[in-house]
Structure formats: C-alpha cells, structure tokens
Amino acid sequence: MHYEVVEPSAIYEFVDGEVLALNLMTGIYIQMKQLSAELFHALATGTSTEVIVSAAKTAGYSAAHIAEFDTHYSNWVALGLLRNAQHIGRPTSESFTLTPALQFVEEQWDDLSELIMMDPVHDVSPQGWPTPIDE
C-alpha cells in the first residue's frame, strides 16, 4: 500500500531526522522524531508499507513492534496529513533502509490553530488581525 501527503492542506519538512508537519485546515502541528519521522518521511516520499515492513525486519524490529506501524499510519491519516495514494504506479523506493532500535516519538499541539485557521477576510474583528470577530 502507498500513502501520499494530503496537499495542499498539509505541509511537512524532514530535516535533521525530524519531521515538522502542519495541517492547515485544522491548525494542528506535529513534530516527529526517530521511528515516527523515518516512517512518515518514507511514506510521504512514496515508499510502500510492504517495503517498510521488509526493511524493519532486516533492521531487527520485532513482529510486535512492526504491528504497531499500521496504528501510526492510521493516526497520520486521521490527522489529515496522509491519505491512500490516488495515483497507481507511484515509484517504490527499493533501497529503503530503516535505522535499528528507534522508538516512536511524536508530539502534537494546537495552540496556534486559531491563528492558522482564521480567515483573514471574514473572521477578523474591526480591531484587526489577529482578533477574531466574536471577541
């Protein structure tokens, strides 16, 4: 199975082993490290779940640990970051390798969601940005 980033409503960057992702429709911001970041980036760049499982086995992850992967994929879909790939024949990265002994590390927050989601034309009060119209 392949996933893809839900563009344009979700944006992300993978840098220094860290994923920074933002759902522009909900304002939820997600920071991922270690296994979470490697798996998310792999999926986002077209690596299939089958290739990831194979790489995880090669890297020594236990069957129980690998079984958790789907839960995280589903969570990223639920957060509006990923969806099932809509284009048949997306390239599969045959050379994908996974770093051994990583843990899932994810943090999400929504304290800027009101600002991110605000419509600057219709939702702003006469006092101006960033005061919402109902304040």
Residues that bind another protein (CB under 8 A): 8-9, 11-13, 15-16, 18, 20-22, 24-25, 27, 29, 31, 109, 112, 115-120, 124, 128-130
In the complex with another protein, the residue whose CB is nearer, 89 or 120, is 120
In the complex with another protein, the residue whose CB is nearer, 94 or 119, is 119
The alpha helices in the chain, defined as continuous H runs, are 34-44, 49-58, 63-67, 69-78, 113-117
Distance CA 43, CA 12 (A): 12
Rounded to a whole number of angstroms, the minimum distance from the CB of residue 29 to another protein is 6
Rounded to a whole number of angstroms, the minimum distance from the CB of residue 55 to another protein is 24
In the complex with another protein, the residue whose CB is nearer, 4 or 18, is 18
**18 contact partners, CB below 8 Å, separation of at least 6:** 31, 32, 33, 37
